[in-house]
Structure 1
Amino acid sequence: MRHPIRTLAPVALAAGLLLAGCGDVEPLPEVTQGARPTAAPATKAPAAAASDLTVGGPGSVCALPVSFGVAEKWTPKAIEDPENPEFAALTRQGPATVRCEVDAKPAGHVGFLRVWTAGEGSARTALEAFVKAEKNTSEVTYQESGSGAGPVTEVTYTVFNELMEESKEERAFAVSTPKGTVIVHLGGLDTAEHRAMIPAYELARTTLKAL
């Protein structure tokens, strides 16, 4: 049976080969390879280039209570049959059901912007329940801001990935609309990938409009 959500497979790291010199050539000094960095430097990322696509607006592939701009080369797709109870472990998180995902792979990243909807109520309450339903979370921080769709609650947190045995950053924002609460979440394979995709997330947040 077809899964409604594509999952991310771990990326294998290939080891390089050093070619030893011969004859009278003096050998190079030994170099000890350091650990792979888990994140890019915490500097402000440049703004994402916007594509001609809008998620949630007229003609969009995803029917949503809001619309927002999509970063260049990112590809949106509606989730098939999200209400099917057989797929609940993949399509539901706390009070929210996933409706749309915007794939970063065509832009060279490993991750998604996923859009979830919840019932009526405050954005903060829905977002807190959404994060609480995630396993192995820590360093959870909330903040309030505004948008073209109204007040926004945003959260940043870390999740311990048992498969990769490391923690990674994640973030999401939520906004209440007359048609329910919308949560836009950015994950990523690891923290470095997550930070590289923040400009696309910020583009979605700053172009958010209620429909």
Structure 2
Amino acid sequence: MPQRARPIRTAAVPAALVAAGLLLTACGALGTTPEPDDVPARAGAPEKPAVPAAAGTLGGKGSACALPVSFALAEGWKPEAIENPEDPEFAALTRQGPATVRCEVDAKPSGNIGYLRVWTAPKGPARTALEGFVKAEKGSSAVSYRETRAGALPATEVTYTVRDPLTEESKEERAFAVSTPEATVIVHLGGLDTDEHRAMLPAYELARTTAKAL
């Protein structure tokens, strides 16, 4: 049954904030490493996790969020649409570079602290939108892009770290972007810290490997 859209959390601000609710991400020193999926991860990066079984689908007819793409959700992840994301009053929370947040999928019911967030940007190259998304976030470093696939779709993926000014520690984040006839879609995974982020990677990989344009 579709979830009722609810306003975006006004208590959240970039970088503070997984604990408060809304995690907006990405930016920093840009590096480029085109590498196929079968190339081993770079030193220090987590190994690619096993993909879990799907427990639902987001983005299709009757799902919680109307999106230009659909993808599978892991068990326990709860999606909700962002209400009025175009409202300029909330622009600091709902916009990041060229992208507007449309949907967030809460990991807490599955036992982790973090979100998958789905953003849309104007139609155009996925790499361009993703770079703009990353550049709009402060506190990021070790940014690395690669060309990959999301399901059957060509995609660009970015991995990077963000320094949290509250804890003064850096944590891993990542996102992938795909172009569709309607818009460019960015799917981002943050997390309270690097341990939480890595624990949620199977759900992110499930979304990436099952993505379809609608």
Give the TM-score, by structure 1 length: 0.81
Residue in structure 2 matched with residue 208 of structure 1 by the alignment = 211
Letter of the structure 2 residue corresponding to residue 100 of structure 1:
C
Name whichever of 60-69 and 148-157 sits farther off.
148-157
Q: State the distance in 2 between where 1:206 and 1:47 align.
A: 9
| CA apart distance, 1:147 | 3.1
Which ranges of structure 2 fall in alignment gaps of 5 or more residues? Answer: 1-5, 13-17, 21-44
Q: CA separation of 1:55/1:123 partners in 2, compared to 1, >3 Å: closer, same or farther?
A: same
Task: Establish whether residue 145 from structure 1 lines up as the match of residue 148 from structure 2.
Answer: yes
The residue number in structure 2 matching 1:175 is 178
Residues 42 and 134 (structure 1), Cα distance of their counterparts in 2 relative to 1, 3 Å cut: same
* Closer, same or farther: CA 92–156 of 1 in aligned 2, 3 Å: same
The offset of 1:164, in angstroms, is: 1.3
Q: Which structure is higher in RCO with an 8 Å CA cutoff and minimum separation 6?
A: 2
1:43: how far off?
4.2
**Cα displacement (A) at 1:153:** 0.2
Q: TM-score, normalised by structure 2?
A: 0.80
- Checking the alignment, whether the CA contact within 8 Å between 2:49 and 2:205 is kept in structure 1 is no
Asked if residue 9 in structure 1 is aligned to residue 13 in structure 2, the reply is no
Give the structure 2 partner of residue 127 of structure 1: 130
Match of 1:76 among 71, 79, 99: 79
Partner residue in 1 for 2:160: 157
Name the amino acid aligned to 1:170. Answer: E
CA shift for structure 1 position 47:
2.3
Aligned counterpart, 1:37 = none
Within 1, Cα distance between the matches of 2:176 and 2:48?
A: 19
Cα distance in 2, alignment partners of residues 203 and 82 from structure 1? 26
1:43-85 Cα shifts (integer Å, max 9, x gaps): 443322321x211011111000000000001000000110000
What is the DSSP-based 3-state SS (H/G/I as helix, E as strand, rest coil) of the residue aligned with 2:60? coil
Contact in 2 for aligned 1:172/1:184 (Cα 8 Å):
yes
Quote the RMSD (CA, aligned, Å).
Answer: 1.8
Q: Take 1:119 and 1:57, find their aligned partners in 2: how far apart are those partners?
A: 20
Q: Give the whole-Å Cα distance in 1 for the aligned partners of 2:154 and 2:54.
A: 23
Q: Which residue of 1 aligns with 2:202?
A: 199
- The Cα offsets for residues 82-122 of structure 1, whole Å up to 9 and x where unpaired, read as 00000001000000000000000000000000000000110
Residues 1:50 and 2:54 are matched in the alignment? yes
2:192 counterpart SS class: coil
Contact 1:45/1:196, CA 8 A, preserved across alignment? no
Give 1:149 shift.
5.0
Instruction: Please name the residue that 1:17 is paired with.
Output: none
Higher alpha-carbon Rg? 1
The percent identity for this pair of structures is 70
Contact 1:121 1:181 in 2 (8 A): yes
Closer/same/farther in 2, CA of residues 129 and 175 from structure 1, 3 Å limit? same
Structure 2 residue matching 1:151: 3-state secondary structure: strand
